Amino acid sequence: MQIQPVILSGGSGTRLWPLSREKYPKQLLPLIGDDTLLQATVRRLQGIDGVTLAAPMVVCNEEYRFVIAEQLRLIKQPGTVVLEPVGRNTAPALTLAALAARRDGLDPILLVMPADHVILDTAAFQAVVRQGAALAQDGAVVTFGITADAPETGYGYIQSGEVFSNANPANPARLIARFVEKPDLATAQQYLDAGTYAWNSGLFMLRASVWLAALGQCRPDILAACEAAWKGGAADGEFVRVDKEVFGTCPSDSIDYAVMERIAGGEASGKPGLPPGVVIALAAGWSDVGAWDALWKVLPKSEGANVALGDVLMHDCTGTLALSEGRLVACVGLDNIVVVETADAILVAHKDKTQDVKKIVDKLKSSARSEGQLHRKVFRPWGWYDSVDHGARFQVKRIVVKPGGSLSLQMHHHRAEHWIVVSGTARVTRGEEVFLVSENESTYIPLGTTHRLENPGRVELEMIEVQSGSYLGEDDIVRFQDVYGRSAG
């Protein structure tokens, strides 16, 4: 049997601000080990026995496409990247993936995984995947319920019913009795005591054709919109695009609401035409790392149950998470506190209140502050830049261009630029001129002059850019040519 990993990468992770930002969310960050959460999700099935594993398929927002492609390249894992022109929740995202999986007349088993979850026990995860694959091959819709060890109020729950398959007597697959929303503490304790409830993981297995047929019965409007958008789309290099205008008309809904809640038990529950929905228990060190307290739980701890990441010193602290991206962070006498330092923002919060970090992000948005959307270091398809200093009429950036990378042919109405090469070699287009600038050399781009920066070498190009002018915003860009398909602005 063939398994097609489908990785849904549309979340913004606002509760992990300031490390996670709207335009660089948590799945793109290395929160556990050296791999980003996305890369760890891709690697999670490597070495699984008894199945044929297809190259991963990532469904993501256009905003993240180049970063995701680069992260797949870094772990030498080619795959398909399906682009959502607008966010429409997980049911349309999975539908696009199912249509892509059926392009060549195939009907693989889709293993649907959020890109931003942590699973510490890979062997246990692969074992339940093999178990679920056999059921999905026969037409069931399989989900995995996380064995609850606490009355958690931040997760939805799945109630399991009678045994559906006893192929693994130690962990039988059971019919889904019902899905329930995030409960209050008293109700969560009742669920834990009952022993028939598990946390809803958001992981699914089912054949592509089974999803499309079930969606057609439960939400034919979503299926019709996705099919029309798919037919109007096309391949764009390493990306797959759908018709933006048509997809924009698609209703927004989750996998749970659109289909899963309607098929609980399937035909065994008297719902003719719908597949059975079954749940398998998963105990594999799972976390959705939805907030800082959840990240603290899954990270290794030192004496006093503290977690220190980066340049951190602690004295007389307990249950504290401190993370530094650059500067020294010193913590004294803290109890159950989260401290997160980045180049442009610092968070200090009680661990019990980390769900409320989203309210800070909302305030940043309402006041149009950039810290809610972007880091100071901004990734681009050609590399990245870091705004290291700025004033009323100047800005200084550190720019790194990958080998073979090329900025767009562009012009600015309100600023001039000085470029100083620190290492590597730059090919510069300035008006009608094309010339090389090497290490310790510089050049000047006058206001209103068409220009381009390229790295023709085999090593990274690093340079300092000093902008000066009346307006230094990133939207003062008129693009004439761009190898990455970006429009003006």
- As beta bridge partners, residue 219 has none
Reply yes or no on whether the pLDDT at 268 is more than 80: no
Do 332 and 259 share a structural domain? Answer: no
What's the number of domains the chain is made of?
3
Do 343 and 416 share a structural domain? Answer: no
pLDDT of residue 63: 82
Evaluate whether residue 292 is within a structural domain. no
Read off the pLDDT band of 487 (50, 70, 90).
low
Read off the pLDDT band of 214 (50, 70, 90).
very high
Evaluate whether residue 293 is within a structural domain. no
Where is the domain boundary, 287, 311, 333? 287
Do 347 and 199 share a structural domain? Answer: no
The SS3 of residue 235 is strand
pLDDT of residue 177: 93
pLDDT of residue 251: 96
Q: What is the mean pLDDT of residues 287-300?
A: 94
Do 325 and 259 share a structural domain? Answer: no
Do 360 and 226 share a structural domain? Answer: no
Higher pLDDT, 489 or 419: 419
Read off the pLDDT band of 269 (50, 70, 90).
very low
Q: Residue 333 belongs to what domain range?
A: 301-366
The candidate with the shortest Cα–Cα distance to 21, out of 259, 350, 345, 247, is 345
Q: What is the mean pLDDT of residues 367-388?
A: 91
pLDDT of residue 265: 53
pLDDT of residue 424: 97
Tens digits of per-residue pLDDT, 149-199?
Answer: 889 888 999 999 999 988 888 999 999 999 998 999 999 999 999 999 999
Do 137 and 76 share a structural domain? Answer: yes
pLDDT of residue 123: 95
Read off the pLDDT band of 398 (50, 70, 90).
very high
Do 140 and 231 share a structural domain? Answer: yes
Do 265 and 167 share a structural domain? Answer: yes
Where is the domain boundary, 260, 287, 314? 287
Q: Helices marked H in 299-356 — which ranges?
A: none
Read off the pLDDT band of 474 (50, 70, 90).
confident
* pLDDT over 70, % of the chain: 98
Evaluate whether residue 488 is within a structural domain. no
Tell me the three-class secondary structure of 114-173, residue by residue: ECCCEECCHHHHHHHHHHHHHHHHCCCEEEEEECCCCCCCCCCEEEEEEEEECCCCCCCE
Do 243 and 358 share a structural domain? Answer: no
Do 21 and 86 share a structural domain? Answer: yes
Do 221 and 359 share a structural domain? Answer: no
Evaluate whether residue 472 is within a structural domain. yes
Do 79 and 166 share a structural domain? Answer: yes
Reply yes or no on whether the pLDDT at 266 is more than 80: no
Looking at residue 112, which CATH number applies to its domain? 3.90.550.10
Evaluate whether residue 487 is within a structural domain. no
Mean confidence (pLDDT) of the chain: 93
Evaluate whether residue 486 is within a structural domain. no
Evaluate whether residue 489 is within a structural domain. no
Residues 6+ apart with CB under 8 A from 214: 141, 259, 263, 274, 275
Evaluate whether residue 336 is within a structural domain. yes
Q: Residues in the chain, how many? A: 489
Where is the domain boundary, 256, 287, 318? 287
